[in-house]
Amino acid sequence: MQTNKHEAAAASVDQRLGTAPLVPLIFSLALPTALAQLVNMLYNIVDRIYVGHIPGTGSLALAGLGVTYPIIVLITAFSNLIGMGGAPRASVAMGRGDYKTAEKILGNCITLLIVLSAALSVLFTMYGEPVLRAFGASENTLPYAMAYLRIYLLGTVFVQFTLGMTPFITNQGFAKTSMATTCIGAVCNIILDPIFIYGFNMGVEGAAIATILSQAVSAVWVLVFFTGKRSVLRIRKANLIPAGKTLALVLSLGVSPFLMTATECVIQLAFNTGAATYGGDSAVAIMSILFSVAQIANLPVQGFCQGAQPVVGFNFGARKLERVRQAFKVMLAVSMGVTTLVVGAVELAPQLFLGLFSSDAALIELGTAPLRIYMLGFFFMGAQLACQQTFLGLGEAKISMFIALLRKVILLLPLSLIIPRVFGALGLSQLLGLYVAEPVSDIVSASTCTILFFAIEWKKLRTTTT
C-alpha cells in the first residue's frame, strides 16, 4: 500500500517538477515562497516598528531589540542548518524515486531541531546578559534587551520547528501551504503586537509574548500538515532515530546556509559594537534600522530563489539538465530585477524606510546618509543569491560554504574593523567607514560568486550529457 502511494506521489511530483512548463512552474513555487519569506520577516520587523514608536522610550527600546537580533539570527541559522541542509537532499532523493530515504531525512531533521532548540534555550537563558553586552547593549538599552530575550527563548522550539520544516513543505511542491505557514503566524503577530505592547501596556515584553504565541500557531500548522493526508513525506517514529550517515549528509549541505545566517550574528556583533563606540545609543538604533531594511530587501529575493530550488534539485536528480539551466536563468533575471528596484527606491526615498521604524525626526535625519551607503552594494546581491541557491540545489556543499564564508567572514568582518580605522587616520568619520564596509563586501563577494558559478558549474551543466 505504501509503495503504491509513493509510486503515485512520484508520478504526481514528476509531472509537476519534471515536465510542467518551466516559467509558470517556477513562479508558482517561488512567488509564494518569496511572500512567505517576506511575511516571516515581519515577526521581528513588526516588533521593531511597534516598539520604535512607543512614546518617550521608543528609540532606546528599539536599540534594545537591535542588540537581541544577533541571537535571534543565530537561532534561525540553526534551523537553516537542518531545514536547508535536509530539504534539498530529500528533493534529490525524491527525484530519484527514493521516498524511503527522503522520509528518513525528514525524521532525522525533526529530532535534530528539537535537540538544538532545547540546547539553545538553555544556553542563552544562562548567558544572555553577557552576550547582549558583547553585542553592544549599554546600561540604558540592556533592560529592554533582556526583557525581550527572556520571553522569546521560551518559544525557541516553535521557531526552530517551523523554520526547519517549511523547506520540506516547499520541496514537495506545496509552496502555497508553505506560504500559509508563515502567513498565519505573521498575521497573528501583527494582530497581537499592538494588543500586548499598547493595550496591556507591556512594552517589549508584550512584543516577545506576541511573537512566541504566533510561532506556536505556525508550528501546530506544520505538524498538522506532516501528519495529514496531503504530505507526500510523512513523519514516522522509526525515522526519528538519528542515523549518522543521514545526519552527515544533512549537515554537510546545511553548513553553507547555516554560515550565511550565523555569520550575520558575528557581523552584527562587530557593527553594533562599532556603532556604540563611534556613535552611542542613537547609532545602535540606526544600525537596527539598517539591518531591518536590508532584511526586508534580502529575504524576498532569497525566498524566490529558494522557492525555485526544488526545480533545480529535482531535475538535477532526474538528469534533466536543460531544465536546470533554464531555471537558473529565471532565478537570475528575477533576482537582479528586484535588487535593482530596491536599491533605486532606497536611494530616492531613504526617509520613507527610516520612518517605518521611528517617529524621531532627528534619528531619521541622522540615518539618511548611512542607509543610502549601506544598501548601495545590494544591487549585486541578486546574482549572488541566484548562484548560491543553485549551488545548494545541485548539492555543491563545499563551494556553497566558501561563498557563505567569503561575504561575511573573509570580507565584511575584517572590513568592518579596518575601514573605520583607515577613515579615522584620514580624518574622516569612523562611523561612516563602518557603513562603507557593507557595500564593498557585497560587490566583491557577489562578483566572486558569479564568476565561480559560470566558470565551474555552468560549464559542467552545459557539457554533461542528459
Per-residue pLDDT band for 14 (boundaries 50, 70, 90) equals low
Question: Considering only CA atoms, which of 330, 253, 236 is closest in space to residue 90?
Answer: 253
Question: Considering only CA atoms, which of 117, 377, 407 is closest in space to residue 259?
Answer: 407
pLDDT of residue 465: 47
Q: What are phi and psi of 177, to 5 degrees?
A: -65, -40
Per-residue pLDDT band for 455 (boundaries 50, 70, 90) equals confident
The pTM assigned to this predicted structure is 0.68
Average of per-residue pLDDT values in the chain:
84
pLDDT cut 90: percent of the chain above it: 29
Average pLDDT value for residue range 355-377: 88
What are 276-312's pLDDT values in tens digits? 889 888 888 888 889 888 888 887 788 788 778 778 8
pLDDT of residue 113: 94
- Asked whether 44 and 291 are in contact (CB, 8 A), the reply is no
Identify the residue with better confidence: 63 or 88. Answer: 88
pLDDT of residue 292: 82
Per-residue pLDDT band for 259 (boundaries 50, 70, 90) equals confident
What are 383-399's pLDDT values in tens digits? 998 888 888 777 776 78
pLDDT of residue 6: 52
Question: Considering only CA atoms, which of 92, 466, 85 is closest in space to residue 312?
Answer: 92
Comparing 27-31, 42-46, 305-309, which segment has the lowest mean pLDDT?
A: 42-46
Comparing 38-47, 290-299, 374-383, which segment has the lowest mean pLDDT?
A: 38-47
CA atoms 113, 225, 172, 242: torsion sign:
positive
Average pLDDT value for residue range 35-49: 70
Q: What are phi and psi of 148, to 5 degrees?
A: -70, -45
- Give the end-to-end CA distance of the chain in Å, rounded to a whole number: 33
pLDDT of residue 3: 53
For residue 458, pLDDT beyond 70: yes
Show Cβ contacts of residue 41 under 8 Å, excluding neighbours closer than 6 positions: 295, 296, 299
DSSP state of 410: I
> Would you call 365 exposed, middle or buried from its count of C-beta atoms within 10 A (0-12, 13-18, 19+)?
exposed
Average pLDDT value for residue range 407-412: 86
CA atoms 292, 294, 295, 296: torsion sign:
positive
pLDDT of residue 348: 94
- Residue 344's identity, in one-letter code, is G
- Asked whether 394 and 318 are in contact (CB, 8 A), the reply is no
Record the cell numbers describing residue 144, joined without a space.
529592554
Show Cβ contacts of residue 185 under 8 Å, excluding neighbours closer than 6 positions: 40, 43, 162, 214, 215, 217, 218, 221
What are 90-148's pLDDT values in tens digits? 888 887 888 899 999 999 999 999 999 999 999 999 998 998 887 777 788 888 889 99
Identify the residue with better confidence: 51 or 222. Answer: 222
Per-residue pLDDT band for 404 (boundaries 50, 70, 90) equals confident
pLDDT cut 70: percent of the chain above it: 92
**Of the ranges 167-176, 326-335, 432-441, which is most confident?**
432-441
Average pLDDT value for residue range 49-57: 75
